[in-house]
Amino acid sequence: MSTTFEPAIRWERRSTIAADDGVPLVTREYGPEAAPLTVIFAHGHCLNMQSWELQRSFLQCTFGSEIRLVFYDQRGHGESGPAAPDTMTIEQLGQDLDSVIRAVGGSAPIALVGHSMGGMSILSWARQHPEKIGFPVVAAGLIATAASELTGSGIARSLSNPLVLAATTVARHAPWILGAGRVVAGKACERVVRHAAYGRAPIHPRLITCANTLINDTASATILGFLPAFVHLDETAGVKALAPIPTMVLCGSGDLMTPYTHSQNIAEQLPLSELVPVPDAGHMVLRERAPVVSEAIVRLLTRVRAAREPYTPAAVEPASVGA
């Protein structure tokens, strides 16, 4: 890869994609449509595509016109359409991701990058579409996520809180009740989405404000409605499906929502993975340690760009996996 890049240019395009069940998914693209590599980003629970803002700027400055970046709001989040209670599942999010891939994909290879629930969306997609792994999807980045067994630790453990249980039931069966009950939902989810957002290191108040703003912009029914999906999470088959392609698995050592051991377990099953531990960082590692996350994504994309075209797994040397 050349060491000289043109200044970042926005090339911003906004569009709306219809999911298979008709839910509108809003996307934003940066970079030329004819770029030799497309990267699709899936955000986490209670967030939206703006959570990737720091990574977008870094990647645009690094790759310039050699890359197209695609961001989208998951159903029920950001500017995308609301989700019916029975569609707030990881299975559905994997199907939504495929809708985005089909809509924005062209002849160029695609890399997928997901944070938290976005990583689970990638694993769900991989399980459902193994025939698309290798091409068009040639690489995956999994940030602060998990494949299974969240009930013993992390976000799903908080569902034992009676207030959260009650609010979750209301969200799934009578979501309109929460329309004017934002305070109740906020209290119910405080331990789930705020207390564990950042790690043990000192954090600038602006980062906390940004995270809280993203969370507060998410509908109460969405915040609570997706929580049962984490209890029943099992996307281990999706992990195995990603084995033929380069992957990057990153997590903060202080992540209380999807603890680091989950990332270790995922990386151990992926022979072409790079495991990136981030000391003392929490679940919002993509903002808390933005340069570390951005540089890890750059390494992943550089591995893909260094491979011969069309992509074949044998063209990439396996990366060592370690803590």
- Residue ranges and CATH numbers for the domains of the chain are 13-154+233-315 (3.40.50.1820)
From CA 171, how far away is CA 221, in angstroms rounded?
5
Q: Are 65 and 9 in contact (CB under 8 A)?
A: yes
Max mean pLDDT among 115-119, 155-159, 164-168, 192-196 falls in 115-119
- Is 90 exceeded by the pLDDT of residue 150? no
Residue type, 40: I
- Is 50 exceeded by the pLDDT of residue 124? yes
CA dist 255 → 10, 162, 311 (Å): 33, 23, 34
- Is 70 exceeded by the pLDDT of residue 60? yes
- Is 60 exceeded by the pLDDT of residue 243? yes
pLDDT of the residue at 323:
36
- Is 50 exceeded by the pLDDT of residue 110? yes
- Using CB atoms within 10 A of its CB, is residue 213 exposed (0-12), middle (13-18) or buried (19+)? exposed
What's the whole-number mean pLDDT along residues 53-67? 95
Cβ partners under 8 Å of residue 269, min gap 6: 239, 240, 243
From CA 294, how far away is CA 300, in angstroms rounded?
10
pLDDT of the residue at 30:
97
Cα angle for residues 249, 78, 18 (degrees, 5° grid): 90
pLDDT band at 17 (very low <50, low <70, confident <90, very high): very high
Task: Report, in angstroms and rounded to the nearest whole number, the Rg of the chain calculated over CA atoms.
Answer: 18
pLDDT of the residue at 2:
39
Percentage above 90 pLDDT, the chain: 60
- Is 60 exceeded by the pLDDT of residue 170? no
From CA 60, how far away is CA 8, in angstroms rounded?
5
Q: Are 77 and 222 in contact (CB under 8 A)?
A: yes
The encoded tokens of residue 216 equal: 């507060």
**pTM of the shown model:** 0.82
Cβ partners under 8 Å of residue 50, min gap 6: 78, 214
The residue that leads in pLDDT, 237 or 159, is: 237
Residue of 245, 238, 240, 281 whose CA lies nearest to 260? 281
